[in-house]
Structure 1
């Protein structure tokens, strides 16, 4: 059965981007041993991509002319008006994440739904009890402030650690299951 997965990188102090959406601190680790393989392996199990409007805007500004998810349905939760890149399967929606959960799972087919981010959108999935797994790669950098990894309104129950591995001799990939989400 398909699952909702949050696959993300975070600074050691729990931020996924600076306040200005700068990812330079993260991109310096793109070529680290195991990082590309981890991403490619993860993507083989993805049938649908979900992101917020700010993440989509960042992609359009920094990946201009290329769409990173060809052939994969992508849903954008936003209150702004955007256009989709030519040939991309992009759906723009407004509303509560629960309203679209069955559509997202349907689009994923036999595969999983990747909640790309940002953290605020993923926190909405967590609050609705829809977040199954969080795969977070801790990057050995502290930012001091920025956009939080998972800005939930209240503490979550303890997550179950499924796996842990080192990437590039410095980063650590942690895979957690949210309680009550074993399917």
Structure 2
């Protein structure tokens, strides 16, 4: 059985929206290594439509020396969407009830299903108790407004801190799993 892992860039005040402008100055090799480990410990990406469309527009043309881009491009992707009719970039659209389909995917043998961004999908899966682990990268910035990861009320879920460390640029990296 695999885990569903939500990997999220957050501001200190919980904003996850459009991380590019506020992550660049604090993203370093330490976070790059963390991302590398996450991606290579996963068998597939699980994405919401908006994140999928952004990634599918950017990633196919990328290359790097670490193999990250090749891994990102090569992994299967499952996309939760009610509006997409077709998907490229090695992706399959989840049809029907997303919670049911993700629960089925979790039963398959293998490594992890990794979610990047995809705030609405994370909220929905949290409502259904399907997120097994949160990998939160909390950046030392306050935005004051924007889309928050835990903005919607949801069921109470006890979490257990598995690891934490701070990068040399002040980004707090937290790993929580369901208790």
TM-score using structure 2 length: 0.83
Structural mapping, 1:24-173, within 5 Å: 24-30=21-27, 32-63=28-59, 65-66=61-62, 68=69, 69-81=72-84, 83-85=86-88, 88-105=89-106, 109-154=109-154, 156-173=156-173
**CA displacement at 1:58 relative to structure 2:** 2.1
Q: Residue 64 and residue 113 in structure 1: after superposition, are their counterparts in 2 closer, same or farther (change >3 A)?
A: closer
The structure carrying a bigger helix percent of its residues is 2
Task: State how many pairs are aligned.
Answer: 172
RMSD: 2.3
CA distance in 1, matches of 2:98, 2:151: 16
Cα deviations by residue, 1:50-102 (Å, 9 ceiling, x for unpaired):
111111122244446349522211011112236544xx320012443222124
Can you give the 5+ residue segments of structure 2 that lack an aligned partner in the other structure?
64-68
Can you give the 5+ residue segments of structure 1 that lack an aligned partner in the other structure?
none
CA distance in 1, matches of 2:6, 2:99: 16
CA distance in 2, matches of 1:154, 1:144: 22
CA distance in 1, matches of 2:76, 2:122: 18
